[in-house]
Amino acid sequence: MQYEPLTVRRRDLLSLIGTVAGSAAMYHTMTALGFASESRYTGPIRLDGDAKGAFVLILGAGLAGMTAALELRKAGYKVLVLEFNDRPGGRNWTLRGGDIFVELGGFKQTCAFEDGLHLDPGPWRIPYHHRALLDYCKRLGVALEPFIQVNHNAYLHASRAFGGTPQRIRAVKADFQGQISELLAKVANQGELDQGLSREDKEILLLALKSWGALDHNYKYKEGLIASGYRGYAKPPGGGLSAAPLPSEPLALSDILKSQLWRYFWNFARYELQTTMFQPVGGMDMIGKAFGRELGGLIRYNSKVTEIWQNDSGVTVTYVDAKDPGQSQKVTADWCLCTIPLSILSQLPINVGAAMKAAIDGVPYTASVKVGLQFKRRFWEEDDAIYGGISFTDLPISEIGYPNTDYNKSGRGILLGAYLFEGPNSFEFTAMPPDERVARAVEFGAAIHPQYRTEFENGIAVAWHRVPFALGCSGHWADEARKLHYRNLCGIDGRILLAGEHASALPAWQEGAILSSLDAIARLHERVIKT
């Protein structure tokens, strides 16, 4: 099956801006387009003053809901959390061998991974600047380890370029950077930059380009040991009589441009993806489990909310046992903090004002699919020397993620065989039965790693629009929708207020969920103190 290469998106534009103009220019552009956002967390929240025994009902035991429960309990509130699942964490979720997952449409999957192997179908990495999440991990005793976002030995793959042969990231990056440096050095030497640079500046610029671009003494980027020291060798340095390395041949700039492999550079330059990044030891759900242990009986699991009703004195929520919905139950509280995804909340009866209701109804959710694949051996390490990191392709699977644990270990291993986020391929994979998603991931992945054909054992696939408790990956704010609805979504409506990644400037990130929650409970506490 033939697939058209992806068209250039805003992220591709950011990559080019970052490559040519530098990271500062790219960051300012990202901010203008609504992509980048600094975490504003400066330390634990202080909720001073008398809570007056107020009862806050929290809907959803994701990170937003559990953060609120933790802090409100500490401030003296009575707290109860209603959670649809039989576990804490929400989209903070890990699948291991023996886990059973039933998606919309009745498709049932049983994870067959070997003990010790897992897939994080939701969030899978934590940037160093997500300070709130890192602080809660520290406070709750969640051990972290490095997540390798950039591995120069992983692959960039264009199905219609270079004969379909994957190219090492280091080679494409070095060749692109080197030949751009050569062009800029040529411009500088021709005097085209004289109006903007002093003679001294020009000399320093040429020295910088020579170093940054691996140029020779004539400011040329060409086949040789200088360039190979960046892009890799045809024959690497050795020992004894065969020690001399052999240089490798660079890719032509024209070929790189036409291949569009340059568009993946944003995955290395974008602020939210810059190193250092982390992951919890043992799976992302270690965070959700730690929150859950801390809150204990404050969380009532298997509670499917069916209606939210408020009046001047409180909020009444109707819910049923998600596993046995025959009999409905009700709970009434002074206040309600709702962290249910808007994709679900928009379908529930809730008596809030027209402005908040329009905001709830006005935010669609991003389509996303992840496929985990188990293989008989860790061939990506044994054959290809890829230890962690991500390979990128224009095939529908988009990315292949390599495990950041158990390096150089014999035996089975798990790859993230597909990570689709936004775009038509995400919807196409969502429409497939799970076994077909797995089969396609194996089929397409074999174009990058031919070992798939003989080493694959089993897989599991999660399409977020078919996940019953989320119906989508994350809130997808259009610029106009954010201008129109965001403040109304985050405001306090009577005795109800909302929190979650959808109520943040960091959609799809756990940090956004936590910061949203902290902001919401600070405003709620202020209201309680004044009431």
Q: Could you state, in order of their start, the residue ranges of all structural domains in the chain?
A: 55-90+285-364+475-530, 95-153+276-283+366-466, 168-252
What is the average per-residue pLDDT within 19-29? 39
Burial call 438-448: b when 16+ CB within 10 Å, e when fewer: bbbbbebbebb
Q: Is residue 379 pLDDT above 50, yes or no?
A: yes
Are 149 and 389 in contact by the 8 Å Cβ rule? The answer is yes
pLDDT in tens, 294-345: 999 999 999 999 999 999 999 999 999 988 888 999 999 999 999 999 999 9
pLDDT in tens, 394-443: 999 999 999 999 999 999 999 999 999 999 999 999 999 999 999 999 99
Residue 169 contacts by C-beta under 8 Å, 6 or more apart in sequence? 150, 151, 152, 153, 154, 155, 156, 264, 391
pLDDT of res. 194: 73
- The separation between CA 257 and the C-alpha centre of its own chain, rounded to angstroms, equals 27
Terminal alpha carbon distance of the chain: 64
Using CA atoms, how far apart are residues 9 and 73, in angstroms rounded to an integer?
A: 45
Using CA atoms, how far apart are residues 261 and 253, in angstroms rounded to an integer?
A: 11
Using CA atoms, how far apart are residues 300 and 88, in angstroms rounded to an integer?
A: 10
The vertex-119 CA angle with 64 and 321, nearest 5°, equals 50
pLDDT of res. 388: 98
Nearest to 388 by CA among 120, 94, 151: 151
CATH classification number, 55-90+285-364+475-530, choose in 3.40.50.300, 3.40.50.720, 3.50.50.60, 3.30.420.280: 3.50.50.60
Residue 194, both tokens? 């004289």
CATH level 2 (architecture), domain 95-153+276-283+366-466: Alpha-Beta Complex (3.90)
Using CA atoms, how far apart are residues 528 and 271, in angstroms rounded to an integer?
A: 38
Nearest to 434 by CA among 404, 461, 401, 405: 461
Nearest to 478 by CA among 363, 399, 377: 363
String of DSSP letters for 209-266: HHHHTT--TTS---SSHHHHHHH--SB---SGGG---BPPPPPPHHHHHHHTGGGGGH
Nearest to 339 by CA among 489, 465, 466: 489
Are 56 and 315 in contact by the 8 Å Cβ rule? The answer is no
pLDDT of res. 22: 42
Q: What is the pTM of this model?
A: 0.90
Helix/strand/coil for 55: strand
Nearest to 346 by CA among 452, 520, 498, 188: 498
Residues forming beta bridges with residue 448, ordered by sequence position? none
Helix/strand/coil for 176: helix
pLDDT in tens, 348-358: 999 999 999 99
Q: Is residue 54 pLDDT above 50, yes or no?
A: yes
CATH number assigned to the domain covering 168-252: 1.20.1440.240
pLDDT band at 158 (very low <50, low <70, confident <90, very high): very high
Q: Is residue 9 pLDDT above 90, yes or no?
A: no
Nearest to 318 by CA among 304, 327, 307: 307
The vertex-13 CA angle with 167 and 20, nearest 5°, equals 75
Using CA atoms, how far apart are residues 448 and 158, in angstroms rounded to an integer?
A: 10
Q: Considering all CA atoms of the chain, what is the largest pairwise distance in Å, rounded to the nearest integer?
A: 87
Distance set, CA 203 to CA 152, 264, 393, 442, 452 (Å): 30, 32, 39, 52, 51
Residue with tokens 């936590």: 514
For residue 67, cis peptide bond before it (omega within 30 degrees of 0): no
pLDDT of res. 38: 55
pLDDT in tens, 481-525: 999 999 999 999 999 999 999 999 999 999 999 999 999 999 999
Q: In what order do the strands lie in the sheet with 167-168?
A: 167-168, 155-157, 389-393, 399-402, 413-421, 368-375, 456-463
What is the average per-residue pLDDT within 18-44? 50
pLDDT in tens, 453-467: 999 999 999 999 999
pLDDT of res. 17: 42
pLDDT of res. 323: 87
Output the CA torsion sign for 380, 382, 388, 391: negative
